[in-house]
Amino acid sequence: MRAQVVYASQFGSTLEIAERIAAVLSARGVEAAAASAEDASDPDGFDAVVIGSAVHGAHWLPAATAFARCIGPKLEARPVWLFSSGPIGDHAAGTAQPDPREVAELRPVLHPRDHRVFAGSFDRATADFSPLGIIERTVVRRFLPDGDWRDWEAIESWAAGIARSLAGSRPVAAQ
């Protein structure tokens, strides 16, 4: 089985989650690699796809949404999982989060087996603010709390569940 883990990340937290998911899948016998939504290859060579995005203002990043919309029709025969990363801060990370708006739009197209929201992280000292406009940069610098609220055990458990699901599936090419 081969799985593609596609992500869109603004400050690196979602990238690290995608890499951990790919590592867990690989450790459980699923050939997997993480790729940014901008660089991800066509899903034809993969038996399953996991797509994730950072969430800003209740929205997925545009790159993840564009990738999912573009490849959605090609995924009908493949299992798909979605994840979102973003709530940060003690209160937000400890509270159930609604699905980002794009997930509701993509459900009828991708038919995901699951969508999971994971808390994220933010490190002002290493964040690249250059792609942000002045207003967005000011908001991020002043109001986002520094810290790491990711629950690696929950992320790894979710990825292990994907691997178990795929272990019972036949590769797409063999179907």
- Mean confidence (pLDDT) of the chain: 89
Instruction: State the fold for domain 2-170.
Output: Rossmann fold (3.40.50)
Q: What is the CA radius of gyration of the chain?
A: 16
3-state SS, 31-78, equals EEEEEECCCCCCHHHCCEEEEEEEEECCEECHHHHHHHHHHHHHHCCC
* Cα 81 from Cα 159, distance rounded (Å): 10
Contact 9, 15 (CB under 8 A): yes
Quote the pLDDT of residue 175: 45
Residue ranges of domains in the chain: 2-170
Q: How far is CA 161 from CA 54, 81, 113, in A?
A: 21, 11, 11
Identify the helix (H) or strand (E) that includes residue 115. strand 114-118
Instruction: Return the exposure string of 121-153: e unless at least 16 CB atoms fall within 10 Å of the residue's CB, then b.
Output: bbeeeebeeeeeeeeeeeebeeeeeeeebbeee
Q: What is the model's pTM? A: 0.89
* Cα 37 from Cα 146, distance rounded (Å): 25
Tokens of 36: 């940014």
Positions of the chain with pLDDT lower than 70, given as ranges: 127, 129, 170-175
Instruction: Return the exposure string of 82-120: e unless at least 16 CB atoms fall within 10 Å of the residue's CB, then b.
Output: bbbbbbbbeeebeeeeebbebbeebeeebebeebbbbbb
Quote the pLDDT of residue 168: 77
Angle, alpha carbons 84-105-68 (nearest 5°): 60
* Cα 35 from Cα 21, distance rounded (Å): 12
